[in-house]
Amino acid sequence: MEAELIAWYGRAKRDLPWRHTHDPYAILVSEVMLQQTQVDRVVPRYLAWLQRWPTVEALANATAADVIRAWQGLGYNRRALALHHAAQAVAQDGWPDTLTALPGVGPYTAAALRNFAFGDVDILPHDVNVDRIERRTGHGFTGAAAQALMDLGATVCLARIPRCDVCPLAAACPSKGTRDTAARKQSRFEGSFRQRRAATLRLVSVADTPGESLDREAVEALVTDGLVIVLPNGTVALP
């Protein structure tokens, strides 16, 4: 089954910029950006980010304020600070043996780095796509099929409307034609506290802003996350 999948990947793989490098820093940037953000939104931001900060040392030397500004529009802004802190840690001490020691790097991201950057094909990074394919097929894949699994899960073996008619694994798949139940949808962004936070951060990213003119609860949450600071005169600024 894995051989069929890898052969299909050779014909149908997506041409994504982070697949043209084994630089662990570039792979880390892509993995952090891809958390909870769609691929088509990430690609131009990834390219712009690496043009501005092409090395881990370059990002480590950036200011937190510039990093936050550059992240605007990708959402979940704490990821930007985690990436910045991880770059600072690597610039100072190198890549650790235990990658989850880096800020913002969990088991999946660590496994992706091990496989895609450091060449450890014995490790299979498990995301929702990989888990879904293994559950449906009842087959355990190796790390050599990681990229193929991610493409199959993103384009063919979809959760709600799987495209079994074009799936290279359909002939041997016991779940052919099966649809997953709808997952619980994320709460609406419009009118949410997340929107209020995002709007407040955008204002502060443009210029330091008097606290009394901002959403107090949003400012408090952003301070807690380290995304803004309140100066002694009450002005809210990026760190």
What CATH number has the domain bearing residue 65?
Answer: 1.10.340.30
Assigned domain for 131 exists? no
Residue 75: what pLDDT?
Answer: 87
Q: How many domains does the chain have?
A: 2
- Residue at which a domain ends, from 92, 117, 142: 117
Alpha carbon 31 to its chain's center: 4
- Residue at which a domain ends, from 99, 117, 135: 117
Assigned domain for 12 exists? no
pTM of the model: 0.92
Give me the domain span that covers residue 210: 193-237
Assigned domain for 107 exists? yes
What is the spatial distance between Cα 104 and Cα 221, in angstroms, rounded to a whole number?
Answer: 19
- The pLDDT tens digits for 82-104 are 999 999 999 999 999 999 999 99
What is the spatial distance between Cα 22 and Cα 204, in angstroms, rounded to a whole number?
Answer: 36
Distances 115 to 79, 94, 112, 120, 143 between C-alpha atoms, Å: 21, 18, 5, 5, 7
Closest CA to 198 of 75, 31, 59, 79: 75
Residue 181: what pLDDT?
Answer: 77
Residue 113 shares a structural domain with residue 197: no
Assigned domain for 125 exists? no
Mind giving me the DSSP string for the chain? -HHHHHHHHHHH----GGGG---HHHHHHHHHHHTTS-HHHHHHHHHHHHHHS-SHHHHHTS-HHHHHHHHTTSS-THHHHHHHHHHHHHHHH---SSGGGSTT--HHHHHHIIIIIT--TT-----HHHHHHHHHHT-PPPGGGHHHHHHHHHHTS-SSS--GGG-TTGGG-TTTT--PPPPPPPPPSTTSHHHHHHHHHHHHHHS-EEGGGS-HHHHHHHHHTTS-EE-TTSEEE--
Q: pLDDT by residue for the chain (239 residues), tens digit each?
A: 999 999 999 999 999 999 999 999 999 999 999 998 999 999 999 999 999 999 999 999 999 999 999 999 998 999 999 999 999 999 999 999 999 999 999 999 999 999 999 999 899 999 999 999 999 999 999 999 999 999 999 999 999 999 999 999 999 999 998 888 766 666 677 778 888 999 999 999 999 999 999 999 999 999 999 999 999 999 999 99
Assigned domain for 142 exists? no
Assigned domain for 122 exists? no
What is the spatial distance between Cα 150 and Cα 153, in angstroms, rounded to a whole number?
Answer: 5
Q: Are strands 209-210 and 235-237 parallel, antiparallel or unpaired?
A: antiparallel
- Residue at which a domain ends, from 117, 140, 160: 117
Q: Annotated catalytic sites, by residue? A: 31
Assigned domain for 214 exists? yes
End-to-end CA distance of the chain: 51
Assigned domain for 6 exists? no
Burial bucket for residue 233 (CB in 10 Å: 0-12, 13-18, 19+): exposed
